């Protein structure tokens, strides 16, 4: 795209498709030159624009992945029902291009009374909440 002064404008978009088939489109970053002049020094992105673009891409991707993870975790492994929602907390995840803040839900135990296995790698399976009492 060219603006009225002849400089090129650009924007980077990300399209995220969820497991349910929902599609979200987000603008990651945008920029452009203020002049039509082109030289070796003005080609491509500046270091700052590159970092901003990668950080924006990571922010949208990490948030979408965290939402998808939480959506899967809400289902009870035993009965398949959605576990009750306690509340939401802000979590800060440190990633390669900076810290990404996500909105993370907390879930109550399922109403079916079977707790998820806290140590799935040990081979233990879901057990009733009252089993340890």
Task: Please list the pLDDT of the chain residue by residue as tens digits (133 residues).
Answer: 544 556 788 899 999 998 778 898 999 998 887 666 777 777 888 888 888 899 999 999 999 988 888 888 889 888 989 999 999 999 998 888 889 999 999 999 988 888 766 655 554 444 444 444 4
56 assigned to some structural domain: yes
Question: What pLDDT score does 126 carry?
Answer: 46
Asked whether residue 127 is assigned to any structural domain, the reply reads no
Q: How far apart are CA 117 and CA 49, in angstroms?
A: 45
User: Is 2 within the bounds of a domain?
Assistant: no
Q: How many structural domains is the chain composed of?
A: 1
d(CA 33, CA 7): 5
Q: Which two tokens stand for residue 119?
A: 């140590």
The pLDDT value recorded for residue 42 is: 74
pLDDT of amino acid 5: 56
Q: What is the pLDDT of residue 21?
A: 83
Q: Which are the contacts of 119, defined by CB distance < 8 A and separation ≥ 6?
A: none
Tell me what pLDDT residue 81 has. 92
pTM reported for the whole predicted model? 0.69
Q: What is the CB neighbour count within 10 angstroms for residue 53?
A: 19
Instruction: Classify residue 126: in a domain, yes or no.
Output: no
| Predicted local distance difference test score (pLDDT) of residue 124 | 45
Residue 25 is part of which domain span? 9-36+44-111
Domain contains 116: no
């Amino acid at each position: 795209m060219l603006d009225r002064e002849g400089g090129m404008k650009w924007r980077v978009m990300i399209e995220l498709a969820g497991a349910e088939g929902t599609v979200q489109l987000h603008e990651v970053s945008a920029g452009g030159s203020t002049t039509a002049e082109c030289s070796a020094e003005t080609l491509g992105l500046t270091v700052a624009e590159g970092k901003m673009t990668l950080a924006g891409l990571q922010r949208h991707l990490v948030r979408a992945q965290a939402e998808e993870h939480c959506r899967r975790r809400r289902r009870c492994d035993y009965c398949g029902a959605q576990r009750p929602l306690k509340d939401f907390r802000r979590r800060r995840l440190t990633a390669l291009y900076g810290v990404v803040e996500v909105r993370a839900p907390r879930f109550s135990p399922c109403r079916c009374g079977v707790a998820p296995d806290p140590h799935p790698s040990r081979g233990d399976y879901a057990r009733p909440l009252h089993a340890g009492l």
